Amino acid sequence: MGAASGPAFSLTESHPGFLSPTGIEIAFVLVGIATLGAALVTVTTRQLVHAALWLIVTLGGLAVEYLLLTAEFIAWVQVLIYVGSVVVLLLFGLMLTRAPIGRSPDADSENRRAALAVAVVAAGTLVWVVVDAFRTTWIELDGPVQGSTEATGAFLFRHWVLPFEALSVLLLAALVGAIVLSRKDREGKS
């Protein structure tokens, strides 16, 4: 009996169970909580510039989460495209259109209850769709590592070229629109 319990005992010690998280899992949860907090501050602040700066923190937190999931390419794309381009474009748009820098009464609405209800329903639907989609999905362990630059690049440029390019055209149109709006204000004052 002693010999049979020895290997079983060492087997359970060498493989951590579901409720014994590793350091990476703890870091993942802590960064996730900080990212969620920054996202909540982003959508609840009444100052547009502060919202943009908290959005940088939120998107940076997502990039850290991707790094913890060993998806380095996606993490750096997150930093370069979203933090480096989208938020900078948003800040340029705020500056060029002369949006109010301080507290903005227009940024608050009386529809908070309806917005909260829509947010809860949307979050519940998203969680249900993701859980349902991955319930029977298996990760292929043969071939390139999921999340690697090779696998992501092949998938992105094979299946998602058109949406990727459409997003770049949309961002360019938004920047040109902000410049046109700022030029009209200057011509009207002259």
The mean pLDDT of the chain is 77
Asked whether 85 and 171 are in contact (CB, 8 A), the reply is yes
With tokens 């870091």, the residue in question is 27
Asked whether 43 and 51 are in contact (CB, 8 A), the reply is yes
pLDDT higher than threshold 70 for residue 158: yes
Mean pLDDT, range 97-114, rounded to an integer: 68
Q: What percent of the chain has pLDDT over 90?
A: 14
pLDDT higher than threshold 90 for residue 164: no
The pLDDT, as a whole number, for residue 30 is 94
Cα separation, 17 vs 101, whole angstroms: 51
Please report which confidence band the pLDDT of residue 44 belongs to, taking 50, 70 and 90 as the band edges.
Answer: confident
Angle at 119 between CA 118 and CA 125, to 5 degrees: 90
The pLDDT, as a whole number, for residue 107 is 59
